[in-house]
Chain A
Amino acid sequence: MKRLQAVAGQISRVGAIVGGAMLLVASILICIDITLRYTVSITLGGADELSGYALAISSAWGFSSALLSRSHIRIDTVYVRIKSIGGRAMLDLISLGTLLGFFGMVTWYAWGVVWQSWVSDSHSLSAIEAPLVIPQGLWFAGLLFFVALSLLLLVRGLLAFIAGDYNGLFALIGSKSALAEAEEEIAAVAHGLEQEKKP
């Protein structure tokens, strides 16, 4: 199961990078669009629509990346006051379970959206008339992957819980303290500055 997660980690990483690249390309398209609009009064059309798709797809795939880095925000005011390790572990499992529950529901109904676009061959109401099933399919795949990953982590968390391996459980799905969160942000900045100092 560890290997399965390693593979899932790779996939989610690639998903995040490709999603980011889509956003980057979208921003460049928008700049070209603005330039053309104000110089020769031509509009490419569709740059904004495509950016919207890029956001939906990249965030659906990004959910997994955020889950693996334990970045989904939780309010840990109560959590940090619980002394019992087992109690915290329970809360971590419940948290993941509810996340899976809600996004499982979203994904379930998201399938209906994609299916509807497929059977009725829907196109967007715009100049580019994009066949909606393509962006929606990629979006749905991201959601589905997220649900599958949550399920995998939940199973692994439960196994760790049963085995009494709480440290293993926290490393997988524990709530990350705000301080740890802040430290990561700082590390990113410091890394940037180090690059600056290199000749």
Chain B
Amino acid sequence: MTAGVSLVVLLFLLGSSIAVAAGMGLAGVVLNQLYSTMPMSRIAGELTWSTTSNFILTAIPFYIMFGEILLRSGTAERMYAALVQWFSWLPGGLMHSNIGACALFGSVSGSSVATAATIGVVAMGEIDKHNYNEPLFLGTLAAGGTLGILIPPSINMIIYGVMTDTSVPKLYLAGFLPGAILTVLFSLTVLVACVWKPQWGGNKIETNWEMRIKLLPDLLPPLVLLLIVIGAIFLGIATATEAAAVGIVGALAITAQRGRLSWRMLRDVCEGTVRTTAMVVAILVGAFFLNVIIQTIGLTQQLSKLISAYQMTPVQVLWAVIILYLVLGTFMEELSMMISTIPITTPLMVQAGYDPVWYGILLVLLIQTAMISPPFGINLFVIHGIRGRGTLSDVEKGSAPFVIALLTMIAMICVWPDIVMVAVRWFG
């Protein structure tokens, strides 16, 4: 009963288009009034201070700032040109470079929108030059962009880690192999499509070894940053949050070396970072408040009773959660979807016996799927916006094969959980 009412209250508040932060906070106030005699609202001040001054969460603005600086450093364009030399001999040409560039940029950026936007802007100019099947080309960018949150670092993993008390480095470790496999799956999707319909693959692009070697240094800055940031975490030199700080200084160094460092640029970086951070933190404030209320009214225990009352097997719980996210993902903004549901679905999955690290990766894959599923998929909007012509349905059509690749990946980690867990066991 409580669970049903809670869900209705939350969905009503979020559906009525009020700000997600306020919606979750007020859902907490309402549930507290309905089911608890303790005036929990009083903790709102202390809770907000203690969560927003939490050092682990500073990773959020740090990775956002890191991305903002890289965006303005001009690394993406050179990186892309170098990848074109390396990958465009495959059937499907530049589309493989799109995916590769997204994977590489995603490995330094913690955000899918930033990845899709950055590589999208760089790649879009090439679309007319080489006669590609346009929807598929757009699909590679929308889908490739989603790799930003699977391949560490990842802002979404930090939020999940903090909200569920799961180790962020373990989540990062767990994300690598699925990230690599998914990149290959995306590339395979292009390959299969272009072998099946060769006319989709566009004109051949001239590549040679001389150029490949010559442009290799352009791949270095992101690779070096990746090695520093990720290496520092896994060698135990720095925590995930500290590594983000190192990334900022590294990105500043690259920007300075390119001669792009200026007061104006720094000011824009600061303003952009704070605005995006505040948006995320506002939702977190609402979510943490709701989370505490949910715990005090015993919702979690009720859910697990519900599972045992209906004698649901873990596999059934898993199916229910996957279907829930596939449905929510079609119409909800992805970040809000993740933050508002974590307090309910994570205890459910853990109760059913799933590892929280494994579930974190599953959740990220489900969010990636939501990002390219119509009608609401943030990456579809980003790529459509960059293209600036045609219809949104072109991007949706082109992304469809990659939704299948994502669902395949989800099925793979469900059948072989070791894809996620093996790295955690070896290094964790």
Contacts and interface: CB of A to CB of B under 8 A. Distances in A.
Physical interaction between A and B? yes
Interface of A: 13, 16-17, 19-21, 23-24, 26-28, 30-31, 33-34, 38, 48-49, 51-56, 58-63, 65-66, 69, 71-79, 91, 94-95, 98-99, 101-103, 105-113, 135-136, 139, 175, 178-179, 181-183, 185-186, 188-193, 195-196
Contacts of A139: 49, 52-53
Given A73-B335, A182-B385, A106 B121 contact: no
A54 B270 CA distance: 12
B46 interface: yes
Contacts of B242: 30, 33-34, 48
A69 B46 contact: no
A63 B14 CA distance: 19
Contact of B271 (A55, A65, A113, A178): A65
A112 B18 contact: no
Give the residue among A16, A62, A107, A190 with the most B Cβ atoms within 10 A.
Answer: A62
14 contacts: A24-B270, A48-B58, A48-B241, A69-B275, A71-B275, A103-B21, A105-B44, A108-B45, A109-B44, A109-B45, A113-B46, A183-B385, A188-B117, A193-B74
B402 interface: no
Given A109-B42, A110-B45, A182-B382, A55 B53 contact: yes
A199 to B, nearest CB: 10
Interface stretch (B163-171, B200-208, B282-290, B299-307): B282-290
Interface in B245-275: 245-246, 248-249, 258, 260, 265-267, 269-275
B18 to A, nearest CB: 4
A99 to B, nearest CB: 4
Contacts of A73: 19-21, 279, 283, 333, 335-336
B65 A20 contact: yes
A174 B333 CA distance: 17
A101 B26 contact: yes
Given A74-B19, A103-B22, A189-B117, A52 B55 contact: yes
B272 A188 contact: yes
Given A109-B41, A193-B122, A63 B22 contact: no
